[in-house]
Amino acid sequence: MVKKRSIPWPMVLRIVLCLVLLGWVFQAIFLSEGRNAYERQGLAWDSLNRAEQWKLAWHYGPPELWRNVCLIDPTAATWSLLFMGATIFLGTLRWRMVLRVHGINLSLGRAAEISLVAHFFNSFLLGSTGGDLMKAFYAARETSNRKTEAVVTVLVDRLIGLLSMLLFAAVMMVPNWALLSGHRRLAALAGIVVIMLLGALAVAGLSFWGGLSRRWPRARIWLRRLPKGELLERALEACRQFGQEPRFLAQAFALSTVLNVMCVLQIWVLARGLNLTIAPVALSLIVPVIICIAAMPVTPSGLGLRENIYVWMLAVPEINIPATQALLLSLLAYAGSLFWSLVGGVVYLFFRATRTEET
């Protein structure tokens, strides 16, 4: 008797989840593209109801998106994809460095798999860091006795990456001071970045070196009384270990700086591919500012927020990029990220969330 093969429901559910999430992402892109196409005809998009907008989005969106993608030089588009892939690879290397501080030796292949899956989920979760939730989940499954430390490594890796990008943006404010001081809107965005930098420095300082328990000795006692207090205290101790590794911190920030440069290069080659003239010095400020602000959990993957900031910052007279071109630049940059999200989606379909022991 031939045994019937059971339906691989986990795989089916993953395929359905991938399609739904990617459909949501494309819906947001097509709404933007459809609105631009509709308003170019002199018609009022806001007078339409939601159903009509969605219908027109899928009518105008795909051909408009394809038309815009075809505007860029293929060589520039290829380099853009390579630079985007390089940022994911460098981020994977940095996370492995963070893991090794706690003796968790994850192979490069396994770390890359988890990073790509996390990048896939970043495409629709709030902000540009939502995939860290999935990354932390899978990281915890890679160890049997250091789950708390594994989760902490994801948070610390994100903190180092964000802090490095904020510092990069702050440094680039100096050669761009005339640009910032001449425009209130740009100055306001720079102010937000400075506030975020101060907050990130405070969090890093308290996490890596502490100080509250020395000033208030009973702080640890109160911590233990909180729900899951023991886990919180263990997580805090895991963070303290990074502060005792100055060599690691130096290496992690050096690697992050290279990653930041790759992010700028990705946008620079796209601008060149669209025949847009943007000074590299200005772009070295604009890109990290946008990345940092888009990381805030406001919209899925920062979509919409990121595009508006691109338009704001590139529209100033010193740069003078038309709004449509600035929007196109942002969407093409996001398309590069979405390409690697598709790769992450394929990895996710065949991903095995098995638990392995550290060596």
pTM of the model: 0.79
Place of tokens 């989920």: 121
Q: What is the pLDDT of residue 228?
A: 58
Tell me the per-residue pLDDT of 32-44, one tens digit each, with 9 for 90 and over.
778 878 888 888 8
Q: What is the pLDDT of residue 325?
A: 81
- 317 or 166, which is more confident? 166
The pLDDT of residue 357 is above 50: no
DSSP 8-state symbol, 227: T
Of 216, 229, 256, nearest to 97 (Cα)?
Answer: 256
Interatomic CA distance for residues 229 and 232, integer angstroms: 5
- 348 or 69, which is more confident? 348
The three-state secondary structure class of 115 is: helix
Give the pLDDT band (50/70/90) at residue 46: confident
The average pLDDT across 96-100 equals: 94
Tell me the per-residue pLDDT of 298-341, one tens digit each, with 9 for 90 and over.
665 566 677 778 888 888 888 988 877 887 888 888 888 888 98
> 182-191, 230-239, 255-264 — which one is most confidently predicted on average?
255-264
The average pLDDT across 92-96 equals: 95
**Which of 9-23, 74-88, 268-282, 340-354 is least confident?**
9-23
Percent of the chain residues past pLDDT 90, beyond the cut: 34
The pLDDT of residue 295 is above 90: no
Q: Report residue 212 as tokens.
A: 């509250």
Indicate the burial class of 336 (C-beta count within 10 angstroms; 0-12, 13-18, 19 or more): buried
Tell me the per-residue pLDDT of 280-290, one tens digit each, with 9 for 90 and over.
999 999 999 99
In sequence order, what are the residues at sequence separation of 6 or more whose Cβ sits closer than 8 angstroms to the Cβ of residue 234? 148, 149
Tell me the per-residue pLDDT of 101-139, one tens digit each, with 9 for 90 and over.
998 888 999 999 999 988 888 776 655 556 788 888 888
The average pLDDT across 160-186 equals: 93
The pLDDT of residue 157 is above 70: yes
Average pLDDT taken over every residue of the chain: 83
In the chain, domain spans: 76-349
Q: What is the pLDDT of residue 212?
A: 59
Which amino acid is residue 297, in one-letter code? P
Tell me the per-residue pLDDT of 188-238, one tens digit each, with 9 for 90 and over.
999 999 999 999 999 999 888 876 565 556 556 565 655 655 667 778 888
